[in-house]
């Protein structure tokens, strides 16, 4: 397994181009199952989850052409991907793929809507929480599907197709909103989703579904009205910028006391993160295609944060902000309200000298003068990148193990950081 070695303490200066958003690209790719025509996506990030999902879609019968190469030719990622599911040849999404990448379970709605049946592995829990599927299942049941859970699989049928329904989510769920949006676009009649997620990735999916012929109202609100269609068509779409990658590199600028220009992105996507960074001692200038961020204060001020559904502070930026708060001149209370177990980075940050106490859903971070490098290990994507950020600020050498987590969601991370002056390299493992 590869690891990453960082010699910290160097301020970062330069420009980083932000990739397309993994968490937008995955549902957009799944939407290709809703039509027998070609859906072409551009600005796709070159990360492992995209390749894993391509494998799953091909298994359902889709043909994938990436940058002119078919997936079968061994192309592992790419910036443009054409997916054609002219026939669905298999409605099973196996455990082997879905356990590795939960977004695989998003095929449930589209397969049911198009084929009237689907057998999809339950994803299981993961390092950040139990992450059940009840909202996906409950919504599809209201639309006429029946489920039988057996052997770790959701066996679903809708012999007469799916029909519209009024569905109220008891919790805001990005994945359940996406799954039901896709299913409802190809269902009979009108579906209303109440308490729907409002994340920008949902709006990106709505944009693509509209290009495919779906009629959807309420974009950007928590009430979505979908008028189902008998058939959807092919479309072309550019994946939105990755707001979490944008926020991560914004913190890299601030934590190292440097100045970075982030391009191919939009400041408005991470307003809640930028507001905290300004309070903590940074300044931001918005540009035509992104933003410039730099540290203004010699020390970082402690700022409390609480994760919330969009437009609140994103849970996917909690670990990175915690890394920054580790070196603040006071204290910061970080409260996680989305996932029940998303503090796995705390003991690893402590190995670098951080002073953090977890009390239930909150972590009290007492700032320490400096972090000192050490070998660390991470349990999920955002925890891993928080250790990279901490390593960039720490004195001496930090080795981050289990880099495969980072490869799932950050494209050419070491290269992008090294180009701005970071002393960072990948060490190939066995
Ligand atoms: C998406 O996961 C993202 N993944 C996550 O990013 C992100 O952390 C999360 O949304 C929240 O913003 C992708 O987009 C691929 P949820 P998702 O359904 O859709 C509970 C990353 O690091 N819930 O919005 O799976 C659930 O347990 C990843 O890039 C139910 O109770 O998240 C959680 O507490 C990690 N029942 C809350 O809702 C359900 O049926 C929000 O989860 C579904 C969810």
The pair of three-digit structure tokens given for residue 193, joined into one six-digit string: 């989703």
Q: How far is CA 392 from CA 86, 244, 254, 419, in A?
A: 48, 18, 11, 14
Q: Give me the chain's average pLDDT, please.
A: 95
Looking at per-residue pLDDT, the higher value among 1 and 237 belongs to 237
Cα 315 to middle of ligand 1, angstroms:
9
Contacts of 82 (CB under 8 A, 6+ apart): 38, 39, 40, 41, 64, 65, 66
Residue 1 has pLDDT above 90, yes or no: no
Where are the extended beta strands (E) located within 23-85?
38-42, 63-66, 69-70, 80-84
101 CA: nearest ligand 1 atom: 15
Show Cβ contacts of residue 58 under 8 Å, excluding neighbours closer than 6 positions. 64, 71, 72
* Residue 132 CA to ligand 1 centre (angstroms): 9
Q: Which of 107, 15, 3 lies closest to 59, judged by CA?
A: 107
Most informative mutation of 174, 320, 340 for ligand 1 (most atoms within 8 A of CB) = 174
Residue with the two structure tokens 């859906």: 39
Condensed to tens digits (0 to 9), the pLDDT of residues 301-349 reads: 999 999 999 999 999 999 999 999 999 999 999 999 999 989 999 999 9
Model pLDDT, residue 77: 47
Task: Read off the pLDDT of residues 269-292 as tens digits, 9 standing for 90 and up.
Answer: 999 999 999 999 999 999 999 999
Whether 126 is catalytic is yes
Q: Which atom of ligand 1 is nearest to the CA of 381?
A: 22
Evaluate: CB of 26 within 6 angstroms of ligand 1: yes
Asked if pLDDT for residue 181 goes beyond 60, the answer is yes
**pLDDT-based confidence at 74, cuts 50/70/90?**
very low
Confidence check: pLDDT of 404 > 70? yes
The band of 75, judged by pLDDT with boundaries at 50, 70 and 90, is: very low
Q: Which of 58, 75, 126, 326 is catalytic?
A: 126
pLDDT of 66 above 90: no
């Amino acid at each position: 397994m590869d690891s990453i070695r960082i010699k910290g303490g160097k301020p970062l200066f330069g420009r980083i181009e932000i990739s397309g958003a993994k968490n937008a690209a995955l549902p957009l790719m799944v939407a290709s199952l809703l039509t027998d025509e070609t859906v072409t996506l551009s600005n796709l990030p070159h990360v492992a989850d995209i390749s894993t999902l391509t494998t799953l879609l091909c298994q359902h019968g889709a043909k994938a052409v990436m940058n002119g190469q078919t997936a079968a030719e061994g192309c592992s990622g790419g910036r443009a991907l054409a997916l054609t599911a002219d026939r669905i040849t298999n409605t099973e999404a196996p455990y082997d793929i879905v356990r590795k990448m939960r977004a695989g379970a998003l095929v449930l709605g589209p397969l049911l809507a198009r084929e009237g049946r689907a057998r999809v592995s339950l994803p299981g829990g993961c390092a950040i929480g139990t992450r059940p599927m009840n909202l996906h299942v409950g919504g599809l049941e209201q639309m006429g599907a029946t489920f039988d859970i057996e052997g770790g699989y959701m066996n679903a049928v809708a012999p007469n197709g799916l029909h519209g329904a009024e569905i109220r989510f008891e919790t805001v769920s990005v994945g359940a909103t996406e799954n039901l949006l896709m299913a409802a676009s190809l269902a009979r009649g009108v579906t209303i989703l109440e308490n729907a997620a409002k994340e920008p990735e949902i709006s990106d999916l709505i944009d693509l579904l509209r290009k495919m012929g779906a009629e959807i109202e309420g974009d950007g609100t928590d009430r979505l009205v979908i008028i189902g269609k008998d058939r959807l068509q092919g479309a072309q779409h550019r994946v939105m910028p990755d707001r979490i990658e944008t926020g991560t590199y914004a913190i890299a600028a601030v934590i190292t006391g440097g100045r970075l220009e982030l391009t191919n992105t939009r400041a408005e996507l991470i307003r809640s993160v930028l507001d905290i960074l300004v309070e903590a001692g940074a300044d931001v200038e918005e540009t035509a295609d992104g933003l410039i961020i730099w540290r203004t204060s010699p020390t970082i001020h402690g700022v409390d944060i609480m994760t919330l559904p969009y437009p609140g502070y994103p849970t996917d930026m909690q670990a990175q902000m915690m890394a920054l708060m580790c070196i603040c001149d006071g204290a910061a209370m970080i409260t996680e309200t989305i996932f029940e177990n998303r503090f796995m980075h705390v003991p690893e940050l402590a190995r670098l000298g951080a002073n953090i106490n977890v009390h239930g859903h909150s972590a009290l971070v007492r700032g320490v003068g400096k972090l000192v490098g050490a070998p660390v290990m991470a349990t999920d994507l955002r925890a891993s990148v928080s250790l990279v950020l901490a390593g960039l600020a720490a004195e001496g050498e930090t080795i981050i193990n289990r880099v495969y987590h980072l490869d799932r969601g950050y494209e050419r991370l070491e290269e992008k950081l090294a180009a701005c002056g970071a002393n960072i390299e990948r060490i190939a493992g066995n």
